[in-house]
Structure 1
Amino acid sequence: MPISDTVTLELDVDYFIEEFSHCFTGECRISMLPILYKISQSITSSSDLGDSLSIILNVMQQRPLKMHRGIVTLYDCYSETISIHDSFGLTDEEKRRGIYASGEGITGKVVETGKAIIARRLHNNPDFLDRTRAHNEKEKKGNLKANTVFLSVPIMRAQKVLGTIGAERVYMNQHLLKQDVELLSMIASMIAPAVELYLIENFDKVRLENENSRLRNALKKKFKPSNIIGNSKPMQEVYRLIEKVANTRATVLILGESGVGKELVAGAIHYNSTNTEGPFIISNCAALPDNLAESELFGHEKGSFTGALMMHKGYFEQADGGTIFLDEVGELSLSIQAKLLRVLQEKTFERVGGSKPVKIDVRIIAATNRNLIEMVEKGTFREDLYYRLNVFPITVPPLRERGSDVIALADHFVTAFSKENNKEIKRISTPALNMLVSYHWPGNVRELENILERAVILSDDDVIHSYDLPPSLQTSKETGTAFGITLEEKIRAVEYEMIVESLKNNNGRMGKAAEELGLTRRMLGVRMERHNINYKTFRIAGSTDCDDD
């Protein structure tokens, strides 16, 4: 085999079997067979990667291999970093320095290509980085060390590189060099399952736990009562009730019209409770088909019905140790209500097709926009279930009863959607605010959110204008304002808004406003009179400007 500074090897198992029985210069590899058997037994009897690596690294140091240094690296495919997991011939500090990216240095190239590499005359090799700084200048210049060879083989499982085994020594016999590469490759194949399991249990598991923790903290932040926008008197009462009930185990019934934010209130209760680390499972009862509702809520056993190919845990079981939020609970059928009543009373249920009781520790928060008392009177909602749910009722007020909260919510949504759509909306114009405040909001906060998302998309000049709002807010019928949707009324509305905005921008100075609008001062005065606009309204208190008085 020709000698080169760096050689990439394609492993030939047949060649290895043939050559394994040969001994050269007294360094016979036939003695490795019992050691390979010992490594195999260690891997079979224990899933602990550390036990196997301890044996492997020890073998690499002893006769007949007599490696000067040995390393086992692991590859984190998410961060794309390669780090030294275990070694000999390196200090702890040198091990900590041994971090590489895929494709970086000899080890990085092995991970990138999935092929073994022999780096002859290591200290002259352009891919040798000495990242660990384990090779001092004397060692690099020594005559014997000039022939140092570094071997690196991939640890692979299902065509995926998991790490590498590297070894360093001086070779005088090239046959032994190739045999040692193939021997290390065999060992790498043997430990690959244990390495994969270690990566899953440590790297992947830790990453998932960190991600779960990050998401849980994000949810906590989202569902803090302080993050529910609004300081009106009705909302202050809601906050007071959340604070009272959060640290109890009481069942909560949240009442209110569709779109008022009942889910936010439920989340605030859970994430400020003692079981905040537990799951928060949301079930929209209105979206559950009658024939699947029981299975979705309580789960089913394998084979309990056609298509039940395996056991399925329902929402209640998934919420064990935490909170389940039953949104639109008034939509459940009477048969499901009976099973729900048992869960509330006994904290147990059976899966569909099962007979073994499943015990759970779950806090129940229910919500509805329907009048449950009327439903009880009509016989469509169980009376006993109603009283079980109605332990601690919280009524979320409709948006039309929240006064200035409309403005606070509007500012919040505009800021959020501006960022989402890469825009810089700086403000909502006065006429647009007047329209938002005047509207009766049958769809509540959800309707306001949707309207402002549309307005942000339509805005062309970093301001939300009245004409960016939908026609339903601009008709006298819907808003009680003087604005209509005929062409003439639309023109008047735009004219009114532009005059008001210009006067606000110019501190009520009519001359400046007229110039900005492309009008004469007299024409502006006529149009202001038509709209009953007084320039003094827009003067800042204490201003000494008097050029347009």
Structure 2
Amino acid sequence: MNNSAPSKDRIQIEVLHKIGEVLGSDSELEHSLHKILQLLEERLEMGLGTLTLPQGDSEVSIDIAHGLSPSEIERGRYKIGEGITGRVVKSGKPVIVPRISSEPLFLDRTGARADREKSQMSFICIPILLQLEVVGTLSVDTPYLDDARLEQNVRLLSIIATMIAQAVAARRTARRERANLLDENLRLQRELKERFHPSNVVGNSRAMQEVCDLIGKVAPSDATVLLRGESGTGKELIADAVHYASLRASKPFIKVHVAALPESLIESELFGHERGAFTGATEAKIGRFERAEGGSIFLDEIGELNPSIQVKLLRVIQTREIERLGGTELKKVDVRIIAATHVDLENAVAQGHFREDLFYRLNVVPINVPSLRECKDDLALFIERFAEQIAAQNGMAPCHFSDDALKIMKSYHWPGNMRQLRNVIEWVMIMKGSGEPVEKQDLPSDLLQAEPVKGDSAQVGNAQSVQTYATQIASILDVPLKEARNVFERDYLGAQLDRFDGNISKTADFIGMERSALHRKIKQLQLHSPNSNVSDNKNLKINKG
């Protein structure tokens, strides 16, 4: 006896350690509980183990068992307070039956024990308690040796029941969190659908109605969409409307602002990379295309892509497969592509800056997003919508713009389009306060001091007039189209830069061009002298000759 007792204690400690490992693993709880019952039989001679996890208030049934057939498990049902198991659930206290054959409360509903076994076996049923609430029971059959050994087994099973209770609590918490996350996800999806539904793309002008009609036609398909228009016209809002009106609305919508990414990181961001692909790549990373699986990806400022990435993007569009940087495996992707640009891609193709085959792959369904200058009749409607949005975000009442204020705003050329309009409205509302009427004098000074826009000539401002160019046509009739285009661009950009005293930022905003693109165009057309200092804050010396 002296030699066997320490051995038994050691086995129990080993079993508790193993049970801790099982419950701490990533396995499903049901699989872990099966493993625990198996351990009890194999290491401690505790057979026919069962676990009940009551879900209601009226009945207890066996949820997990070891050594019982499906029919025996099905028969193991008890009302609360009925039999040994039902009584443990009701009282929250353990019950020990030293000899099963002599206990009338032991109902043996499962029928898994022969009569001869009942006289030799004990039955132990332990409550699984969670904050004094009975969340289940743990029961086993064990050979009867003596009362002391039974008490020792009860203590061990009570420890195991406590460990199981903690695992059940963790599962309940995880289920609750998953349910909350699912509810929140569904709520956010509903909000996104409502916020970016095509009906939120407002406008009664012909140009805006054409955009809305195209969204309604293209959204249900998987066709690639190319959004074209000046900076600030709301191309991203149109992309939102296309995605959230599509069959992919419940799937990811991943946005990539190409111009904002360093060239050295674009490939990794789009397609991902494997561990060790470059210095600092300490672990693998999935790219934006993989993150958009099943949904859509929005490639903003696609015209800024460098040639090497253009080749890889073309392959993705053609094959719907991506290859991570540093990897060799091709991965299939199911992604709808929506691209946007303010760049004249046909011109970029002609000049060799953009691949012609990629252009045609992207230009399946082009949507031309009009500038604000083309939608002046919708200006009051845009102002009202922006005022409502800004008011809701800042907890204030929307402002009403007077007729005089609207007249000034309609006469302005709006080089920054919708983005600039929204910023102006937000500035005015913050300066005026909640619900205050907006008069002409409340507008920003740059609107009040700007020259009124008259007709279509506003799009070129102080640049050389259409009539002047008409008189110069004869002088370029004998040169190729590319050279003629360069002549026009050189004169046009030179005039615009003169107009804004060489300020790159103001010129780019007015003509609807990114500053980086304008810098490249200036260098390409040699609009500055080699010694001039070109920057966004300094004047530019123009060289037109």
In structure 2, the partner of 1:269 is: 242
Deviations 1:203-247 (A, max 9, x none): 222222222222222211122110112121111111111122112
Alignment of 1:209-224 (within 5 A): 209-224=182-197
In structure 2, the partner of 1:350 is: 323
Counterpart Cα distance in 2 of 1:335 and 1:320: 23
**Among 450, 455, 460, which residue is 2:423 paired with?**
450
In structure 2, the partner of 1:319 is: 292
- 1:258–1:369 Cα contact (<8 Å) kept: yes
The answer on 1:468 being equivalent to 2:442 is yes
**Among 28, 39, 43, which residue is 1:47 paired with?**
28
Counterpart Cα distance in 2 of 1:425 and 1:292: 42
The answer on 1:192 being equivalent to 2:166 is yes
- How far did residue 51 of structure 1 move? 8.4
Q: What is the CA RMSD across the aligned residues, in angstroms?
A: 4.1
- 1:165–1:184 Cα contact (<8 Å) kept: no
The answer on 1:332 being equivalent to 2:317 is no
Counterpart Cα distance in 2 of 1:185 and 1:264: 59
* TM-score of the pair, normalised by structure 2: 0.57
SS of 2:211's partner is helix
The answer on 1:235 being equivalent to 2:216 is no
- 1:320–1:362 Cα contact (<8 Å) kept: yes
In structure 2, the partner of 1:375 is: 348
Counterpart Cα distance in 2 of 1:221 and 1:329: 27
Deviations 1:444-497 (A, max 9, x none): 1111111111111111473242333211111142668xxxxxxxxxxxxxxxxx
Distance 1:214 1:380, change over 3 A: same
The share of aligned pairs that are identical, in percent, is 41
- 1:242–1:268 Cα contact (<8 Å) kept: yes
In structure 1, the partner of 2:479 is: none
One-letter identity of the residue aligned with 1:351: R
One-letter identity of the residue aligned with 2:54: D
SS of 1:86's partner is coil
Distance 1:432 1:186, change over 3 A: same
Distance 1:440 1:41, change over 3 A: closer
In structure 2, the partner of 1:86 is: 54
One-letter identity of the residue aligned with 2:256: S
- How far did residue 353 of structure 1 move? 0.3
In structure 2, the partner of 1:488 is: none
- How far did residue 152 of structure 1 move? 10
- 1:414–1:453 Cα contact (<8 Å) kept: yes
In structure 2, the partner of 1:133 is: none
Please identify, of 368-377 and 417-426, the stretch whose mean Cα deviation from structure 2 is larger: 417-426
- How far did residue 41 of structure 1 move? 9.8
Counterpart Cα distance in 1 of 2:434 and 2:319: 60
Alignment of 1:282-431 (within 5 A): 282-431=255-404
Distance 1:166 1:460, change over 3 A: closer
- 2:396–2:434 Cα contact (<8 Å) kept: no
Alignment of 1:518-537 (within 5 A): none
- 2:307–2:354 Cα contact (<8 Å) kept: yes
- How far did residue 198 of structure 1 move? 5.2
In structure 1, the partner of 2:527 is: none
One-letter identity of the residue aligned with 2:200: N
SS of 1:263's partner is helix
SS of 2:259's partner is helix
Distance 1:408 1:363, change over 3 A: same
In structure 1, the partner of 2:105 is: none
Counterpart Cα distance in 2 of 1:320 and 1:166: 40
- 1:47–1:194 Cα contact (<8 Å) kept: no
- 1:153–1:166 Cα contact (<8 Å) kept: yes
SS of 1:365's partner is strand
Distance 1:152 1:277, change over 3 A: closer
- 2:128–2:162 Cα contact (<8 Å) kept: no
Counterpart Cα distance in 2 of 1:327 and 1:447: 19
One-letter identity of the residue aligned with 1:47: E
- How far did residue 167 of structure 1 move? 10
- 1:421–1:457 Cα contact (<8 Å) kept: no
Alignment of 1:112-191 (within 5 A): 184=158, 187-191=161-165
Deviations 1:74-116 (A, max 9, x none): xxxxxxxxxxx7379x437xxxxxxxxxxxxxxxxxxxxxxxx
Deviations 1:361-417 (A, max 9, x none): 111111100111111111111111111111111101001111231111111111222
- How far did residue 426 of structure 1 move? 4.9
Distance 1:87 1:51, change over 3 A: farther
Distance 1:87 1:390, change over 3 A: closer
- 2:390–2:398 Cα contact (<8 Å) kept: no
Deviations 1:143-191 (A, max 9, x none): xxxxxxxx99657xxxxxxx965799xxxxxxxx9x9999756632344
- How far did residue 341 of structure 1 move? 0.7
Distance 1:301 1:377, change over 3 A: same
Distance 1:374 1:164, change over 3 A: farther
Counterpart Cα distance in 1 of 2:264 and 2:19: 54
- 2:271–2:325 Cα contact (<8 Å) kept: yes
- 1:297–1:314 Cα contact (<8 Å) kept: yes
* TM-score of the pair, normalised by structure 1: 0.57
- How far did residue 344 of structure 1 move? 1.1
Deviations 1:269-289 (A, max 9, x none): 122222222211111111110
Counterpart Cα distance in 1 of 2:402 and 2:154: 77
- 1:425–1:464 Cα contact (<8 Å) kept: no
**Among 223, 228, 231, which residue is 1:258 paired with?**
231
One-letter identity of the residue aligned with 2:58: T
Please identify, of 42-51 and 395-404, the stretch whose mean Cα deviation from structure 2 is larger: 42-51
Counterpart Cα distance in 2 of 1:181 and 1:154: 17
Counterpart Cα distance in 1 of 2:397 and 2:384: 13
One-letter identity of the residue aligned with 1:276: A
One-letter identity of the residue aligned with 2:204: N
Aligned length: 356
One-letter identity of the residue aligned with 2:217: K
Counterpart Cα distance in 1 of 2:18 and 2:324: 47
